Structure 1
Amino acid sequence: MNALSSISLTVVLLFLTLPVSAQTTKLYGNVVGITDGDTITILTDDKRSIKVRLVEIDAPEKNQPWGQRSKQALSNLIFSLNVSVASHGEDRYGRTLGTVYLGDLNVNKQMVVKGNAWAYTQYVRDQDYFALQKNAESRKVGLWSLAQDQITEPWIWRKQKK
């Protein structure tokens, strides 16, 4: 193997071992809107309005049991505060997909910890979300305090409503 091939291989291997967070974009802004328990709008310093869909979680729909409480919980946590967003691209609706941080607090995980959102099974990459959900469920906090017949995952709820 010549020196150039060796360097190229090393660069490729280094890139592949980078953590996902190193491949994300950081956004900063003030939370100016809460759509529901997993979608917010931030206003950046340069006055761009960016809709952010919190990744790895799915909150109850607005008309679903706990939907309004989930939205209110997210609002109580971050509305009108400055947050950072580790952006992971966009979804098909043009929303930025991201992990939201209030200082060092991972807001996405906090929504699961407090029982205001589910680990979004189909899209979870960080397995901690499942443990956080199981803990919230065992403590019967948030939506887990509802009667069993009122607890339906949002992705199932949406399918039933179509």
Structure 2
Amino acid sequence: MLTATLLCLVVAITDGDTLTAHCGQPQAYEQVTVHLGGIDAPEKHQPYGIQARQALSDIALGKTAELRCHKIDAYQRHICSVWVAPASAPDGPRTLDAGLAMTTLGLAWWYRAYAQEQSPQERGQYEFAQQEARAKRAGLWRDSDPVAPWDWRKNSPPQR
């Protein structure tokens, strides 16, 4: 299994759980597509998809991120936790876990099906963040019955 920590510049946000980063020196960087481990955010055309993309952009775009990667998925994306400096201390240490922040905001689901890829501490944090977001009716939890992305993808026609 791949285990790597990379220091990269986040250059693009695809959606609420996927970003593009440039890793290495500017003259010889590697472009890496990253899916945030532990979460699944609404798809672009799904309710809250635009808000999720904007939230991840606010959290990570243009920042130097520490990518803690543990595998590459079937789409050749690196599965990583993404750590950035929080907005309250932009020049400080990278202490904000972007996936956990998205879950806390109610703009991503904790992806329980992949919980075994997280440490027990991470599982507890993500599960608690989702429970709190749901209890506060934050983000997508405002809907009485939000549809998880994995169910939405099964029941939606392909988007162009």
TM-score strictly above 0.5: yes
Counterpart of 1:81 (choices 56, 63, 68) is: 63
Aligned to 2:31: 49
Moved over 4 A (4+): none
Which one has a bigger Cα radius of gyration? 1
In 2, Cα distance between equivalents of 1:98 and 1:118: 16
The yes-or-no answer on 1:158 pairing with 2:158 is no
- Residue 102 of structure 2 corresponds to 111
Corresponding position of 2:139: 142
1: CA distance between counterparts of 2:144 and 2:71? 35
Q: Deviations over 1:24-63 (max 9, x none)?
A: 3101111101000000000113311100010110000100
Asked if 1:67 is matched to 2:58, the reply is: no
Q: Give the Cα separation in 2 of the matches to 1:84 and 1:72.
A: 20
Q: How far does the alpha carbon of each residue in 1:83-106 deviate from its partner, in whole angstroms, 9 at most, with x for none?
A: 000011200111101000010111
Indicate the percent of aligned positions where both proteins have the same amino acid: 36
The answer to whether residue 112 in structure 2 is matched with residue 121 in structure 1 is: yes
Instruction: Say how many residue pairs are matched.
Output: 139
Is the helix fraction higher in 1 or 2?
Answer: 1
User: How far apart in 2 are the matches of 1:152 and 1:89?
Assistant: 27
Unaligned stretches of 5+ residues in structure 2: 85-93
CA RMSD across the alignment:
1.5
TM-score (norm 1): 0.81
Within the candidate set 90, 97, 101, 2:83 is matched to 101
What's the offset of the Cα at 1:130? 1.3
